[in-house]
Chains A and B, each alone.
Chain A
Amino acid sequence: MANRIFVGAHYGLKDWIIQRVTAVYMALYTLAAWGVLLTQRPLGHETWQKIFACGLTRYATFIFALCLFYHAWIGVRDIWMDYVKPTGLRLALHALTVLVLAGYAGWVAAILWRL
């Protein structure tokens, strides 16, 4: 048992697609955000609040954050899979990563809808 290698979990494609879709969304959001920031004057707290008072901005930003966290989850998970060999430790790190990112997602929601 100790020396046997098990592979064939039959997943990976979904994550691979999601990683690409989230990257495209983040790139588009970044371009749009730059567009907004460059056209809005004067750039100050009031303008910032006005931008985020719009429901669409909050929605798009929240989706951006979710994309970022899902993208980060796959990337960080890949790092654990590459470098951390003991299964128990790897599972613990996976769980910790998910919990931290889920917490961040909640935090982003709280920030966005408090603005």
Chain B
Amino acid sequence: MTTRTVQFRIYRYDPDRDERPYMQDLSVEVDSHDRKLLDALVKLKAKDESIAFRRSCREGVCGSDALNVNGKNALACLLNIDDLKQPIVLKPLPGLPVIRDLIVDMTQFFKQYHSIKPYLINNDPPPERERLQSPEEREELNGLYECILCACCSTSCASFWWNPDKFVGPAGLLAAYRFLADTRDQAANERLDNLEDPYRLFRCHTIMNCVDVCPKGLNPTRAIGKIKDMMVRRAV
């Protein structure tokens, strides 16, 4: 079996031991079965247990292993090692507090996500089987419901960096539009009221970093534009 060496430059920070973060050069031998960046990281972890990173499903579904890889946010499990320039520079997602090494505190991110009430609001008595939608109505939700909340988008957004406590961020706004676009939801007006704010929604300046990094190929900028369209339709 052929093996090859993967070179890393990794952000290290253990608040219990280190005064400040530093970059550490490391390398690991991988074999031909190890195709993804996460495979190499798992090998590296076996070699040096002190390296901390999150991972779970290892196939782009759970969104745990979002990292800043060579300057761009991505999921380690979806990136081919061979496509990456070495040494592979790994840093935690930008803009969130670092807990340790590549692990960030996602509290602020999820706080914003929860602030948009990411659940269907319908006060009618539930029907016996399900709330039906036409195929066209269901089609509206494509490109919205697939978000895995990995935070790649929000942590690459400059507006979220400056105002993470006030700006909902692309992930939260994509989820907000997912429920605004849902014909079964009855709280569109309240949702629009909740978002009509110079910080919560209008901090988005359409720089589209979110679209550039989304590992699921989603387009939060388009969703944000559609929220603004709804507000215009409501107001004008």
Residues of A participating in the B interface, judged by any CB pair closer than 8 Å: 5, 7-17, 78, 81-83
Contact = CB atoms under 8 A, between A and B. Distances in A.
B231 to A, nearest CB: 5
Given A12-B196, A13-B231, A82-B159, A5 B166 contact: yes
Nearest to A9: B197
Interface string B182-201: 00000000000110111111
B36 to A, nearest CB: 36
B1 interface: no
A11 B232 contact: no
B228 interface: yes
Contacts of B165: 5
A61 B203 CA distance: 30
A78 B207 CA distance: 14
Contacts of B119: none
Contacts of B199: 7, 9, 81
A99 to B, nearest CB: 20
Nearest to A3: B165
A7 B159 contact: no
B187 to A, nearest CB: 16
Contacts of B166: 5, 7
A17 B196 CA distance: 13
Interface in B201-223: 201-203, 205
A80 B203 CA distance: 12
A11 B196 contact: yes
Nearest to B162: A82
B162 A12 contact: no
Given A7-B200, A17-B236, 7 more contacts: A5-B166, A8-B197, A9-B198, A12-B202, A13-B231, A81-B199, A82-B163
Contact of B198 (A5, A12, A17, A83): A12
B235 interface: yes
A8 B194 contact: yes
A15 B197 CA distance: 11
A7 B197 contact: yes
B197 A83 contact: no
Interface in B141-186: 159, 162-163, 165-166
Contacts of A81: 163, 198-199, 203
A91 to B, nearest CB: 14
Contacts of A83: 162
Contacts of B236: 17
A94 to B, nearest CB: 12
Given A5-B166, A16-B228, A17-B232, A78 B205 contact: yes
21 contacts: A5-B166, A7-B166, A7-B200, A8-B194, A9-B197, A10-B193, A10-B196, A10-B197, A11-B196, A11-B198, A12-B201, A13-B202, A14-B235, A16-B202, A17-B232, A17-B236, A78-B203, A78-B205, A81-B203, A82-B203, A83-B162
A53 to B, nearest CB: 37
A13 B198 CA distance: 8
B159 A13 contact: no
A105 to B, nearest CB: 23
B172 to A, nearest CB: 12
B228 A11 contact: no
